[in-house]
A and B are shown apart, each in its own frame.
Chain A
């Protein structure tokens, strides 16, 4: 039995079941609210599965992420989880990196086999980040379970930490409780921006681990700050895609948004109930699932040996 409520999407050129799209938005929004990722890497393939052309799916998803991340940022802001200072620095780096990344991908496409490199980068990045986060959070969860023993000896700083301290323009980030050089978020934001542009995604699932492990920010502030940064990235992508490629289906985005905004609010509240290491292990599992799905797609023979140009 099918649910009879359908709506025609003029830009996608297809009709969709209203409730299916609302639920899809809600599910992905929930993850977005919990982990601070945009959810583009999950939503776009799901939309394609429901008959939306790949280019329209990717662009409309960016439009809905604008709404979802606004709602998510607001929820995290009220909980005191958004470090605006850090977010702005990462955003500047992200915009610079995105611009460089677009040029790199142009050169890669001219050289040929760009898609191969993109997919391989995806699998390697997701595999490395996911495995490291999983192992690290599992270790910290076990430590918490055993006993809380204050360490007498102060841990010696790693070479990375010493390098961070030696950088100029050191400043306080009170919300995150760290003291860092302004160059660190700028450079790391640029690197993530490059990767995000090459991989064709918002970059939330790369940015979150970078903030946790390289900027040493507490997990709850990471989630809110990541959403704040994603909001601006996706605003830019939506306007550019609508203007240049006519691929933003606003009705589809609005339906997804209603679902995902509610999901993001619930996600933020649910995330607050979870400990930092629990959040990390859940995100690590999600990243690893996506990595295995991509690896399977790379290795298994596709049903059809043709693909439309565009999309993720």
Chain B
């Protein structure tokens, strides 16, 4: 009898856990799966669709590969003039980070929890390492954020995710992410995080590649693969173009 109760209890627990796991899951697909940069590329819109638990909020991030940035910190010299002074290196800086949500992230963060903070731009502070001589670099990360935001490469947006009605404890979402024109080829990641009470309860991600195609691809290949030839050709074409324009003006002036 006892064994029977035990088996029943175990089966109930297993069902509860698996049902919970099914509900606290996220899935996502993206369109397009790759971005081709041709001669007329001027930014695009990435659509991410999927589902998150009905009582959660979706936060979608578009993140680029991390690299090291060697920069100069500006400071005052003699209390009067602003100059580039100390060298500073930021390690593990994503080249782009776009964070999208349906509602203001500040409002979501007010619900408490800690893991949501990691998804925000300010959360990059934990993953970016700063190397600089001496002290006085307390605001360096904030300045980096300011610079990247000014370049349009780091951005927090809200209102660009919409939801459909919930079915079986899951609600579907659709995010429209504006990808800037300032984009370089490489590997990128699109991820969705389901947030409940300020905590990440489920995550899904999709890789995305950005490629140069057509004329930009040819030009980049020449510039990086045969740089001396590229430099000579660039100079010669500029010379000939200058001469051509000069001659056009000469013939016009002759009439």
Establish whether residues B219 and A10, one from each chain, have CB atoms under 8 Å apart when the complex forms.
yes
Indicate whether A74 reaches chain B with its CB closer than 8 angstroms.
Answer: yes
Establish whether residues A248 and B234, one from each chain, have CB atoms under 8 Å apart when the complex forms.
yes
Within 8 A of B (CB), among A210-224: none
Please, which residues of chain B bring their CB within 8 A of the CB of A235?
235, 239
Within 8 A of B (CB), among A79-93: none
Given that A14-B181, A238-B235, A261-B246 are contacting pairs, would A297 and B230 also be in contact in the complex, using a CB cutoff of 8 Å?
A: no
Please, which residues of chain A bring their CB within 8 A of the CB of B22?
none
Establish whether residues B147 and A306, one from each chain, have CB atoms under 8 Å apart when the complex forms.
yes
Binary contact track A49-89/B, C-beta < 8 Å → 1, others 0? 00100000000000110111111001100100000000000
Indicate whether B2 reaches chain A with its CB closer than 8 angstroms.
Answer: no
Binds A, one of B54-62, B77-85, B162-170, B200-208: B77-85
Establish whether residues A242 and B227, one from each chain, have CB atoms under 8 Å apart when the complex forms.
yes
Within 8 A of A (CB), among B232-249: 232-235, 237-239, 241-243, 245-247, 249
Cross-chain contact of B182 among A11, A13, A116, A300 (Cβ < 8 A): A13
Establish whether residues A309 and B232, one from each chain, have CB atoms under 8 Å apart when the complex forms.
no
Establish whether residues B241 and A261, one from each chain, have CB atoms under 8 Å apart when the complex forms.
yes
Please, which residues of chain A bring their CB within 8 A of the CB of B77?
113, 116
Indicate whether A169 reaches chain B with its CB closer than 8 angstroms.
Answer: no
Indicate whether B32 reaches chain A with its CB closer than 8 angstroms.
Answer: no
Establish whether residues B139 and A305, one from each chain, have CB atoms under 8 Å apart when the complex forms.
yes
Indicate whether B52 reaches chain A with its CB closer than 8 angstroms.
Answer: no
Binds A, one of B10-18, B34-42, B111-119: B34-42
Shortest beta-carbon distance, A45 to chain B, in Å?
15
Binary contact track B219-234/A, C-beta < 8 Å → 1, others 0? 1100110011011111
| Secondary structure class of chain A's binding surface, majority of residues | helix
Shortest beta-carbon distance, B143 to chain A, in Å?
5
Given that A116-B83, A241-B231, A297-B82 are contacting pairs, would A305 and B73 also be in contact in the complex, using a CB cutoff of 8 Å?
A: yes
Indicate whether B74 reaches chain A with its CB closer than 8 angstroms.
Answer: yes
Establish whether residues A307 and B74, one from each chain, have CB atoms under 8 Å apart when the complex forms.
yes
Cross-chain contact of B216 among A10, A119, A301 (Cβ < 8 A): A10
Binary contact track A87-124/B, C-beta < 8 Å → 1, others 0? 00000000000000000000000000101100110000
Shortest beta-carbon distance, B255 to chain A, in Å?
15
Indicate whether A157 reaches chain B with its CB closer than 8 angstroms.
Answer: no
Shortest beta-carbon distance, B17 to chain A, in Å?
48
Cross-chain contact of A10 among B82, B217, B246 (Cβ < 8 A): B217
| Size bracket, chain B contacts | 35 or more
Binary contact track A276-312/B, C-beta < 8 Å → 1, others 0? 0000000000000000000001111111111111000
Establish whether residues A248 and B223, one from each chain, have CB atoms under 8 Å apart when the complex forms.
yes
Q: Closest chain A residue to B88 by CB distance?
A: A306
Establish whether residues A298 and B82, one from each chain, have CB atoms under 8 Å apart when the complex forms.
yes
| Assembly CA distance A200 to B182 (angstroms) | 26
Establish whether residues B223 and A307, one from each chain, have CB atoms under 8 Å apart when the complex forms.
no
| Assembly CA distance A291 to B76 (angstroms) | 19
Chain A interface (Cβ within 8 Å of chain B)?
6-11, 13-15, 51, 63-64, 66-71, 74-75, 78, 113, 115-116, 119-120, 235, 238-244, 246, 248, 250-251, 253-254, 257-258, 261-262, 265, 297-309
Q: Given contacts A71-B242, A303-B146, A303-B150, list 19 more A-B pairs with CB under 8 A.
A: A8-B37, A8-B40, A10-B216, A13-B182, A75-B249, A113-B85, A115-B83, A120-B81, A235-B235, A238-B238, A241-B231, A242-B231, A250-B234, A261-B246, A299-B80, A304-B147, A305-B139, A308-B72, A309-B71
Chain B interface (Cβ within 8 Å of chain A)?
37-43, 69-75, 77, 80-85, 87-88, 139-140, 143-144, 146-147, 150-151, 181-184, 212, 216-217, 219-220, 223-224, 227-228, 230-235, 237-239, 241-243, 245-247, 249-250
A-B contact pairs, 23 of them (CB 8 A): A6-B40, A6-B42, A10-B217, A15-B181, A51-B182, A63-B238, A64-B238, A67-B242, A70-B243, A74-B242, A74-B243, A116-B77, A235-B235, A243-B227, A250-B233, A254-B237, A299-B82, A301-B82, A302-B74, A305-B75, A305-B143, A309-B71, A309-B72
